[in-house]
Structure 1
């Protein structure tokens, strides 16, 4: 058993030395001049541990590596003085280090003398121990001077290295003092030697990773909990093995059956006991309460909290469910409810997380209790509530269903700018405990953060709703503008009918005008029916000259409109939207033109695009007005104008992928030009991309 323990300890020492060397090489301070010496000493110590496992301790190779190990640590000790230049300024450092190296080097001669004898000579063993005592004492003196004579900044840097070397050489001093007095080394001290080497190597590596003051060994809570769990499991199995070994010492088959039964029972108990949430919660609580200053690892808790709230892309849970989960994770609670204020100020159920079994009445909490949450920031501990303890007169307002259910543990208000966004009710954790000041502080700040998330989400939804209403209002403004134009046309038609009602040609034109007006009203109704749908997405071939003729006919009875064209020009777009946009521009041109002055529609093509321009000879616009006012809704140069026509025309043209250009000179008139891709050019582009979805029919 002792031999097995020795092998395990030296094996662990070799592993720790190797890992420490790797850590120093990869993460150590590269500016330190003693870094390479430290890595070498750690590697030599690791090889020495392996040789002790594989070879007898008295073998020449093992003793040879022990000498190398001690020489390496002496050299490391000397190089540590170089961190503040004392290897050159103190005259005693170098001679002492050299003298210690020479004394350790004498071990080679003593090993040669001892190996020549079949049995170790006691005098030689004592001489070897004496030399090692001298080296250990000298090394301890150097360690004392290394730390005691260092500057304040160097002390912060050398604290861990000095402690590691002091532990190593102090144990060597005790070990060889015992060997000198007894003439031999005890097995127990030899096994403990590996543990000291491992601890010293780990401390030494921490020293090399140290770059500022105040480094402490701070294992994470997860590591502490896992280590505690493994340790308890190991102790449990060792106890079972010891018990079964005692049983096995008895004779007979019954002893063997009992031994196997004990081991099986141990395995079954561990398999059922360790996965228990209650047990794991109790172990975690025990570790956090007694091994750490604070129960919570605030960094990890905040990272987990943030990840839970930001995990919308990969998680199907709603924002409200993630809010409950993030707060439940902090306290190890397994379920929760979110209660939100309604229009009366009472709190009603808004969302559940893993708590479908509980029956929540409506309202869940009265408005009086909600006001206490909002005004006092009270976190309810239902253990106190059931014990009759109150803080702000809340007991009389707490509903019976919250007190009656023993699984209800706490209620945390979500406050944003002193406004209650909701209350999260948490279920009792697997390992029951009472809330303390640290729970209250963390739950309060987490509740405020969750309230900001919920407030931001509510604001986002309100903005989306306001945007939808704004879109609707803009559409209604466009419709009102078109209705005004139709009203003007109908009024003019009525006035002309009083003068020319007996004229057959007039009646014929009046019927056409009424039909066009009816079609226009039908179009308005269809536009309202398409509320919320994209515009300008229906792509088809449009013959601009034909569209211009239809528009001219529509305005023939109200104002002279002429067309000038160089031939056929077919573009791609939405025929209905383009007709509406051009009609707006023509109506604006008529309103801006003097009585009897014609409006011109000019059609042509430039390169890959077709154009239709609406030209008037009105009073024109300034560059400042075009740049800042023309396309803003409700800005108009006309009396009683809505200022909508140009704005809607530009939106309709842009929705089709077109452009609207404006040229104007004050006192001369204006030109509005709509530019769209030619059908042939669009067809070539579509073919290059492997599609051809342009409607060949002209509008």
Structure 2
């Protein structure tokens, strides 16, 4: 029964693959992937026919199976458009896997040689190991081919799925045959019908496929190569342990343990040695790729290192980003210092020197030249370049190259790269990549320095703004002190006046101290929380201070506002001073405060000359605009800024010849806030 299923299943598979091959031959496309596809179909049909007519264990059948696998690997290789990848690494991977398949065929032929039972079992075991290695390696390549296939090309995806099913069935059969003593006849029977299903899936894929070419990226090719090498490594280790089991006799277990332990130790050593990893990377890039660098991956890593903020400052990240391009273990940034360059931030660089190198700065500023220090040491560089390199770089053997950082025609700095683990001379690809990376790094450094300059300018601007406000307050204090000095000539003998004068001087001194504190950028008044302020008490204090200068009428009921007491007093001082200066000596100034609908409303009303609507709209709240000969034009502007910072509003209603009303509206505070 099983033999009949093997016969009919594989005969059906042979019919499906042969029919598909003939159908493809009728409409040739003249493309290499298409020809490889037809060849693989014909060899698969031939193999299935051999299994059906002869036996799966016959040498001719096993050779046909090896030819089938090599044909399908060739078809997969043809799917990869090598002119886009620009390397031969993926071709090397496929050749390695084809070599593993061919080794399995060699062991199949070796089984024909008359040997003893132990040798025959060893050869048969080795043949199964190589067939399993070939199946696993082919599945790895299928996986990477699946990653490269666009999601919109469903036909290619179906081909990949069919190939994965083909080698998954083989792996199941070979693994079962390796683990058990007898040949898995049941799985062989099932494989025939499964292969017929694979053929039907390929028929569907053919009708849905358009372009037969794919493009594997460089990372996929490297991962495929690494995975296949690991599979081959593990397979050879398993083969060695099988041979030891057959020929080591009583010492088989000890020899097998030594093989496994030695292979594992060797693999860990290889993977954990930085020099060996760097050497492997260089050799692979040199011999398997057309270009040394995967520019897309390198540029993504470069920009990620520069653009990702972290604990390290930007200058150190710039050095690291450029050093990573050439696998340099460290680097030093030379920064402009007058007419020369001085050592600056470093990454994995010890004992930077002191001093300034002007000749090197002049040489690098003349053009974007990558300085190869080994050529300078050997005297092979141009004379001007040799003369410009400082002695401390010549004496330091681990200094490898100097990359200038030029932005907009200006030398932003230079990076000294440490020698990579695998010493080599720089080539044209290194020069091109480092030149472009130097320009990009220079733009980052220039932008960072521009931001720092803008921040300094902003701090100066803030200082100037505060100073302008303080000058305005000083002007008010000077007016108040001038009035005291004028009255002192007439009322110096009056004890009440002397007491009032001392209080005024003390208050002016305290206010001057507060004004000087506001100049410091460490002043924290702008971050103080809002509190409940007794507006009536504050208005009375402001009015009492100014009554010696002008008549002021204060009318305030119980009112608690959420504000800053010092800021609100400062605002009222500005508005009262403006009202006094705008009013006639016999026209009193009124300050009114009351609570309305959850807000505290404070009015400062004068009966002076007033202002025109155009002046109020266009100039009143603009800084440095004033109608007074000695005015600074910042009082109203600062008052509105301070009120806005407290969550309130400042409005003005003025009529020429009648007077002006400034109105402050602040959120009201409740009794609980006042108690707190």
Is 1:641 matched with 2:645?
no
Match of 1:595 among 576, 585, 603: 585
2:197 matched to which residue of 1?
none
Normalised by the size of structure 1, how large is the TM-score?
0.70
1:299 matched to which residue of 2?
296
Distance 1:623 1:672, change over 3 A: same
User: Could you tell me whether the CA contact under 8 Å between 1:537 and 1:656 is conserved in 2?
Assistant: no
Is 1:284 matched with 2:281?
yes
- Secondary structure in structure 2 of the residue aligned to 1:641: coil
User: Could you tell me whether the CA contact under 8 Å between 1:225 and 1:284 is conserved in 2?
Assistant: no
- Secondary structure in structure 2 of the residue aligned to 1:433: coil
Match of 1:329 among 321, 324, 333: 324
1:166 matched to which residue of 2?
38
- Secondary structure in structure 2 of the residue aligned to 1:572: strand
Question: Deviation per CA, 1:231-255, whole angstroms, max 9, x where unpaired?
Answer: 5555566667777777777676678
Is 1:361 matched with 2:353?
yes
Distance 1:201 1:624, change over 3 A: same
Q: 423-432 vs 256-265, which deviates more?
A: 256-265
* Structure 2 CA distance for aligned equivalents of residues 378 and 613 of structure 1: 71
- Secondary structure in structure 2 of the residue aligned to 1:274: helix
- Secondary structure in structure 1 of the residue aligned to 2:526: coil
Question: Deviation per CA, 1:219-276, whole angstroms, max 9, x where unpaired?
Answer: 3333333444445555566667777777777676678866765554444333322332
Match of 1:317 among 312, 316, 337: 312
User: Could you tell me whether the CA contact under 8 Å between 2:332 and 2:346 is conserved in 1?
Assistant: yes
Unaligned runs of 5+ in 2: 80-145, 158-207
Distance 1:294 1:534, change over 3 A: farther
- How big is the shift at 1:609? 0.5
- Secondary structure in structure 2 of the residue aligned to 1:673: strand
Is 1:619 matched with 2:599?
no
1:661 matched to which residue of 2?
651
- How big is the shift at 1:630? 2.1
* Structure 1 CA distance for aligned equivalents of residues 365 and 530 of structure 2: 56
- How big is the shift at 1:607? 0.5
Aligned Cα root-mean-square deviation (Å): 3.6
* Structure 2 CA distance for aligned equivalents of residues 237 and 555 of structure 1: 95
User: Could you tell me whether the CA contact under 8 Å between 1:537 and 1:655 is conserved in 2?
Assistant: no
Distance 1:440 1:478, change over 3 A: same
- Secondary structure in structure 2 of the residue aligned to 1:558: coil
Question: Deviation per CA, 1:200-224, whole angstroms, max 9, x where unpaired?
Answer: 4786785745999998544333333
User: Could you tell me whether the CA contact under 8 Å between 2:322 and 2:437 is conserved in 1?
Assistant: yes
* Structure 2 CA distance for aligned equivalents of residues 255 and 477 of structure 1: 94
Question: Deviation per CA, 1:393-430, whole angstroms, max 9, x where unpaired?
Answer: 12123223322333222221111112222211222222
2:675 matched to which residue of 1?
696
* Structure 1 CA distance for aligned equivalents of residues 639 and 426 of structure 2: 65
User: Could you tell me whether the CA contact under 8 Å between 1:617 and 1:669 is conserved in 2?
Assistant: yes
Distance 1:243 1:68, change over 3 A: closer
User: Could you tell me whether the CA contact under 8 Å between 1:540 and 1:696 is conserved in 2?
Assistant: no
Is 1:463 matched with 2:454?
yes
2:619 matched to which residue of 1?
629
User: Could you tell me whether the CA contact under 8 Å between 1:277 and 1:431 is conserved in 2?
Assistant: no
Is 1:407 matched with 2:398?
yes
- How big is the shift at 1:550? 1.7
* Structure 2 CA distance for aligned equivalents of residues 168 and 212 of structure 1: 17
Q: 430-439 vs 506-515, which deviates more?
A: 506-515
* Structure 1 CA distance for aligned equivalents of residues 12 and 44 of structure 2: 16
- How big is the shift at 1:450? 1.0
2:221 matched to which residue of 1?
224
1:672 matched to which residue of 2?
662
* Structure 1 CA distance for aligned equivalents of residues 210 and 402 of structure 2: 42
Question: Deviation per CA, 1:325-352, whole angstroms, max 9, x where unpaired?
Answer: 211221122222222122x333223222
Distance 1:564 1:265, change over 3 A: closer
User: Could you tell me whether the CA contact under 8 Å between 1:278 and 1:430 is conserved in 2?
Assistant: yes
1:547 matched to which residue of 2?
538
Unaligned runs of 5+ in 1: 1-53, 74-135, 149-158, 684-691
Question: Deviation per CA, 1:511-547, whole angstroms, max 9, x where unpaired?
Answer: 4443443343343344346744242724333222222
2:443 matched to which residue of 1?
452
- Secondary structure in structure 2 of the residue aligned to 1:349: strand
Normalised by the size of structure 2, how large is the TM-score?
0.72
1:347 matched to which residue of 2?
341
Query: Using CA pairs below 8 Å that are at least 6 residues apart, which structure has the higher relative contact order?
Result: 2
Match of 1:141 among 16, 25, 28: 25
* Structure 1 CA distance for aligned equivalents of residues 261 and 499 of structure 2: 107
The count of aligned residue pairs is 550
Distance 1:247 1:542, change over 3 A: closer
Q: What pairs up with 1:502-521 in 2 under 5 angstroms? A: 502=493, 506-507=497-498, 509-521=500-512
Match of 1:273 among 246, 250, 270: 270
User: Could you tell me whether the CA contact under 8 Å between 1:535 and 1:652 is conserved in 2?
Assistant: no
